[in-house]
Amino acid sequence: MSKVCIPQGYKTPLSVYEMQRAIEFIKSNFQVNLGNALNLRRVSAPLFVEENSGLNDNLNGVERPVSFDIPDVHATGQVVHSLAKWKRLALKRYQFHPGKGLFTDMNAIRRDEVVDNLHSIYVDQWDWEKVILREDRTESYLRQTVRAIMGAVCETNDALDIAFPSLHTRIDRDVYFISTQELEDRFPDLTPKQREDAICREHHTVFLMQIGGNLKRSGQPHDGRAPDYDDWQLNGDILLWNPVLERSFEISSMGIRVDEAALDRQLTASGCDDRRTLPFHRMLLAGELPLTIGGGIGQSRLCMMMIGTCHIGEVQASLWDQETVQTCESAGIMLL
């Protein structure tokens, strides 16, 4: 059964041609605004990494990377899930200084993703990372960075409304900050996803903090987070209220990255001590990598939100099952 839900009376907001123009406008404008807001420079990034490097993102620890052998270099490559670890190593190699960082176009394949209105097996996002000082590893600095990102989002959205007068998407610049424990205490009888919907219905732009550790009431984490990139006490998701789908809508997962102590603590807590021998993890535990903050901002997600589409396939060329295609076509929706 298709997991796609088409809102009653929904119509694609732009023609296929105008949709492509709008996508190009959003992507070119936002990366400039993001770079200016966070002092980032664009760099090139890999599509795959070596299997034993420890650089691939393990996501929730169960997703299988797409792997292939490379006979000429006697190695196995893995198509990236994200560039969370690669970016930190790149900052060291490129000799970035505190207060400066990089962003890149990240294209990934997540073969085990459950596809629906918001999820595809193809992931495209702006991956960014910035060098910080040890005294910047605070919630205050994290909040400051979130506000800067939302400023870039709103500037792009305002420009889009001028360039495409038929679009009228409103995105709130003011961010409501709340931790996962505070959210569980406020809505103890709801599931994590239902809590996100409830808080975004009240406060249209939300930064949900401290994702990864177990919560006090349920004894379970709000959502899964790999133990070796975000510090679970200094991370979070940017969530927006999506009026088309009438639900919360994640556009970014980000955070201040683990230092030596946080990595040591989280590897043990998650039962991943075997990663300590991988090259990336050895460097981090030895204090050889810069302290950073970083994250990913979904390109197709941001286009969905600003244009007002109900399905990610309207803005992203990807592979869909026949039932999903038929469901969308019967509603007059063209999947690219």
Hey, which residues are catalytic here? 57, 110, 125, 237, 250, 253
Q: Is 273 helix (H, G, I), strand (E, B) or coil?
A: helix
The residue among 97, 63, 38 whose CA lies nearest residue 291 is: 97
Nearest-angstrom CA–CA distance, 194 and 317: 29
Q: Tell me which amino acid residue 94 is.
A: Y
Nearest-angstrom CA–CA distance, 126 and 260: 26
Which alpha helices (H) appear in 172-298, and where do they start and end?
180-186, 192-202, 260-269, 279-285
Element (H, E) at 183: helix 180-186
Q: Do the bridges between strand 101-109 and strand 75-79 make them parallel or antiparallel, or are there none, so unpaired?
A: unpaired
The residue among 240, 320, 257, 215 whose CA lies nearest residue 82 is: 257
Q: Is 131 helix (H, G, I), strand (E, B) or coil?
A: strand
Nearest-angstrom CA–CA distance, 105 and 125: 6
**Structural Rg of the chain based on CA atoms:** 20
Q: Where does residue 207 rank: exposed (0-12), middle (13-18), buried (19+ CB within 10 A)? A: buried
Whether residue 153 contacts residue 160, with contact meaning beta carbons closer than 8 Å, is answered with no
The encoded tokens of residue 80 equal: 């990236």
Q: Where does residue 148 rank: exposed (0-12), middle (13-18), buried (19+ CB within 10 A)? A: middle
Element (H, E) at 16: helix 16-38
Q: Is 275 helix (H, G, I), strand (E, B) or coil?
A: helix
The encoded tokens of residue 3 equal: 């997991």
Nearest-angstrom CA–CA distance, 267 and 114: 27
